[in-house]
Chains A and B, each alone.
Chain A
Amino acid sequence: MNLDAARLARGAGRLALAYAAALVLFGAFVVTKGANPIQMYGDMWRSTVLNGTSIGQVLVKASPLILAGLAVAVPAKAGLVNVGGEGQVIMGAVAAGGVALALDGTLPGGVMVVVMMLAAATAGGLWAGLAAVLRLTVRVNEAITTLLLNYVAIDLLLYLIYQPWKDKFGSGQPATRALAVAARLPLIGTSKVHAGFVIAVVATAVIFALLRWTSWGFRLRVVGGNAEAARRAGLPVSALLISAMVVGGALAGLGGMVHFAGAEFKLRPGMTLNFGYIAFLAAWLARHDPLKVAGAAVLLALIAIGGDSLQLDSGLPAAAVNVLMGLVLVAVMGRGQTTRRSPKVAGIPAVAS
């Protein structure tokens, strides 16, 4: 038996063990709350994987997660840490919502969708780009600024929907008026899945191709590997770093638009449901490989939808499913690594100029 196959098998075994351990541990927690874990998992399984409408819900939920996950993965290739997905998603939703309010009824639905997408991608890209510019000009770390900008974005959203953009004829809840039906993302065929999922899948394929087969992708990886060497080799490091962050932010912004125009239709408090943070974890779970990021996003969306079953069938709070998500991540991230990165040789740059 060759060594690679053995290593792969061992890796898969460990991964399976990690997932199993997370499930067992969460089951134990559930027992302490007086619910039957076997029945609970059965309900979760039946109500997600075996249920057509729920699979639709999972894909609807996964769409913004995939886009926000790519928003972490692209900057990561260039060695940047984007913790600001949440804020960028919100800025995208805000931009889409603003466009919808401003242009309501003046454009045909299809054109409106495109305008909203452009506005959302621009807003998300600028929001993330700001962090990249601060990193390059005053050397403030982008992980910190993107994190702080999340809260600024949340407050901006709340400000808008509590006052200037609030629906005066609504129920009094702080929310904008609903997006016109014509401007909503169409459903795919007869399913309950909206076209946002197609956008997410296409984005995944495009990003995969860009990173793998274009010189931009190659250069990002060089910068991510050794920025100093890249600079000496004459690469425009600053422009590359900014482009990676802006592309990431634009993807997250698109995620916000997809969620707004495909599922929510109104801007309201708490509408993003921690998408940015969950997507950050999906990206790390997948080690920033675009295809795996999409897979991890679907998995986490599945767990989140399972939370609804938790509430309906077992009478536990829906947010309790975060325990299961946390345990899965602990188990997967904490399992032994079978593949090792090539060791860095101290003091010797990887690329000479």
Chain B
Amino acid sequence: MILPVEVMVGAVRGGTSILYAALGETVSERAGVINLGTEGCMLVGALTGYAVTASTGNPWVGVLAGAVAGGLLALVHAILVLSRGANQLATGLVVLFLGLGLTSLFGAAYVGRSINAFKPVGIPGLSSIPGVGDVLFNHDPLTYLSYLAGPAVWWLLYRSRPGLILRAAGERQEVLAAYGHSPLRVRYLAVVAGGALAGIGGAQLSTAYANAWFENMTQGRGFIAVALVIFAAWHPIRAVWGAYLFGAALALSPALQARGYGFNQFALDAIPYVVTIGVLVFLGRRRAHAAPEGLRKVFEMSGT
């Protein structure tokens, strides 16, 4: 396989779990709540997805369970932030540690177990197109589903009435309240939905990408997702591209090493983070304006 194709295949393969999590975080942040615990939601999604797949033999049931688990953990975040007035950033980290702890407590039994995982399914016809077929049409079903997830979230946020209400909760909750909606309920739903999407991302990681469970297997992907949302200026389609960019950077070092280039993997691993900071530096001002009004209080983006 030539290098660009291999990297792009890797971008899609490695980017999909981040894509789901980043879309979830977009939904949550659009409603005005940042969840640094996305990493924890992905972890519980990964373990629950793996465990339920192991016991039912059906990875679809596993993914569904992973979504529920991610949503439940996000609910903890929502309760603390929305009903108890706790700081969003700190609570997110609490949720992360809860996820880390719960998955190591309940996950030990699943280390080294094999499951009936998702298998790559070539799309007839399309998968045999040179290059493109390998990049796009030779993946597991959750990856195909992810192609629809980005546009679906975009449509939901920008073209549907619930999306308008959700964005209003993040921008001007007084207006929303004046129209007789409950901003609180909308935010709860958004945070939980965001956690559920992160849970799906985690489940994709364990049941379709790695086909294994091990402690702390998300390795910072949830944090990448949070960073991506800002990189993407809270726009779902840009978040999708960002997820693939991260996937590509992750795929680049093994691909180069396989070709005998003596690249140190970790120098390359740092690239996505440096790129994100670079993008923020160049687009910082514009991006800051794109932030939902409700988030500015958290980030204190006004002033200074």
Contacts of A159 in B (CB 8 A): 264, 266-267, 270
Could you mark each residue 90-117 of chain B with 1 if its beta carbon is under 8 Å from any beta carbon of chain A, else 0? 1101111110111011101000000000
Q: A144-B280, A336-B84 are in contact. List 9 more A-B contacts (CB 8 A).
A: A139-B288, A139-B301, A140-B280, A147-B36, A227-B304, A322-B100, A326-B100, A326-B101, A333-B87
**Cα distance, A139 to B280, chains bound together (Å):** 9
Which positions 318-353 of chain A face chain B at CB distance < 8 Å? 318-327, 329-330, 333-337
Q: In angstroms, how far is the closest chain B Cβ from the Cβ of A137?
A: 8
Q: Contact check: which of A150, A237, A284 meets B90 at CB < 8 Å?
A: A284
By a CB distance below 8 angstroms, the chain A residues around B230 are 141, 144
- Among B85, B95, B98, contact of A337 (Cβ-Cβ < 8 Å): B85
Asked if A280 CB lies within 8 Å of chain B CBs, one says yes
Tell whether A291 is near chain B: CB-to-CB under 8 Å: no
Q: What is the CB-to-nearest-CB distance from B31 to chain A, in angstroms, rounded to a whole number?
A: 19
Q: Does A294 contact B (CB under 8 A)?
A: no
- Which B residue sits closest to A160, measured CB to CB? B266
Using a CB-CB cutoff of 8 Å, which residues 137-153 of chain A contact chain B?
138-141, 143-145, 147-152
Judge whether B94 and A152 touch: CB under 8 Å.
Answer: no
Q: Does B277 contact A (CB under 8 A)?
A: yes
Tell yes or no: B223 within 8 A of A by CB: yes
CB contacts (< 8 Å) of B264 on chain A: these are 159, 162-163
Chain B residues within an 8 Å CB radius of A29: 102, 105
CA–CA, A320 and B105, complex, Å: 5
Which residue numbers of B lie inside 8 Å of A, CB to CB? 36, 76, 79-80, 84-87, 89-91, 93-98, 100-102, 104-106, 108, 215-216, 220, 223-224, 226-227, 230, 264-267, 269-270, 273-274, 276-277, 280-282, 284-285, 288, 299-301, 303-304
The listed residue with most B CB atoms (<10 A of its CB), out of A135, A159, A238, A316, is A159
With A277-B97, A319-B104, A330-B76 as contacts: A140 and B91 at CB distance below 8 Å:
no
Known contacts A139-B288, A147-B227, A159-B266; A319 and B89 CB within 8 A of each other: no
CA distance A257 to B273 in the complex (A): 25
Report the bound CA distance from A348 to B281 in whole Å. 32
A232 at the interface (CB under 8 A from B): no
Residues in A with CB closer than 8 Å to B85 are 337
Q: How distant is the Cα of A322 from the Cα of B102 in the complex, in angstroms?
A: 8
- A264 cross-chain contacts in B, Cβ below 8 A: none
Report yes or no: A280 in contact with B96, Cβ–Cβ below 8 A: no
In contact, B280 and A145 (Cβ under 8 angstroms) = yes
Of the residues B98, B106, B274, contact of A152 by C-beta under 8 Å: B274
Cβ contact within 8 Å between B101 and A155: no
Can you list 12 A-B contacts (CB < 8 A)?
A83-B89, A139-B284, A143-B89, A144-B280, A147-B226, A228-B303, A237-B304, A281-B94, A319-B215, A321-B101, A325-B101, A330-B98
For the complex formed, measure the closest distance between the CB of A126 and the CB atoms of chain B, giving whole angstroms. Answer: 15
The minimal Cβ–Cβ distance linking A48 to chain B, given in whole angstroms, is: 18
Chain A residues lying within 8 Å of B90, measured Cβ to Cβ, are 280-281, 284, 333
For A168, the chain B residues whose CB sits under 8 A away are: none
User: Which residues of B sit under 8 angstroms from A162, Cβ to Cβ?
Assistant: 264-266
B267 x A322 contact (CB < 8 A): no
The number of chain A residues touching the other chain, given as a range, is 35 or more
Chain B residues with Cβ below 8 Å from A150 are 223
Q: Complex formed: what's the CA distance from A277 to B92 in Å?
A: 11
Query: Shortest Cβ distance from B49 into chain A, in angstroms?
Result: 19
Q: Report if A79 contacts B (CB, 8 A).
A: yes
**Which residues of B have CB within 8 Å of A145?**
277, 280
Q: A81-B89, A159-B267 are in contact. Are A326 and B277 (CB under 8 A)?
A: no
Query: Which B-chain residue is minimally distant from A142 (CB atoms)?
Result: B299
Bound together, the chains give a CA A253 to CA B94 distance in angstroms of 23
Residue A136 at the chain B interface, CB threshold 8 Å: yes
Report the separation of the CA atoms of residues A330 and B82 in the bound assembly, to the nearest whole angstrom.
13
Q: Is A236 an interface residue (CB 8 A)?
A: no
Residue of A nearest to B262 (CB): A163
Is A317 located at the chain interface by the 8 A CB criterion? yes
A128 at the interface (CB under 8 A from B): no
Question: Which residues of chain B are within 8 angstroms of A40 by Cβ–Cβ distance?
Answer: none
Residues of B within 8 A of A138 (CB): 280-282, 284-285
In whole angstroms, how far apart are the Cα atoms of A317 and B89 in the complex? 27
Known: A148-B276, A228-B303. A333 touches B89 (CB 8 A): no
In the assembly, what is the distance between CA of A259 and CA of B131, in Å?
49
Contacts of A329 in B (CB 8 A): 94, 97
Tell whether A134 is near chain B: CB-to-CB under 8 Å: yes
**In the complex the two chains form, is A317's CB within 8 Å of B215's CB?**
yes
Which residues of the other chain, B, contact A318 by a CB distance below 8 angstroms? Answer: 104
Decide if B84 touches A149 in the complex (CB within 8 Å): no
A199 at the interface (CB under 8 A from B): no
> Hey, what's the 0/1 contact readout for A217-237 against B, CB within 8 Å counting as 1?
000000000011000000001
Q: How far is the CA of A147 from the CA of B220 in the complex (A)?
A: 11
Asked if residues B97 and A326 are in contact (CB atoms below 8 Å), the reply is yes
Q: Are A277 and B266 in touch, CB under 8 angstroms?
A: no
Give the chain B neighbours of A277 by CB distance below 8 A. Answer: 93, 96-97
List the B side residues contacting A163 at CB < 8 Å. Answer: 264
Chain B contacts of A324 at CB under 8 A? 101
Given the known inter-chain contacts A148-B273, A316-B105, please indicate yes or no for A333 contacting B266, CB distance below 8 A. Answer: no
Contacts known (A162-B264, A227-B304, A284-B90); A151 close to B280, Cβ less than 8 A: no
Contacts of B267 in A (CB 8 A): 155, 159
A322 and B89 in contact, given A138-B281, A139-B301, A140-B284 (Cβ under 8 angstroms): no
A15 within 8 A of B: no
Residues of B close to A228: CB separation below 8 A: 303
Closest 9 pairs (CB-CB, A-B): A322-B101, A323-B101, A326-B98, A319-B104, A320-B105, A155-B270, A284-B90, A159-B266, A138-B284
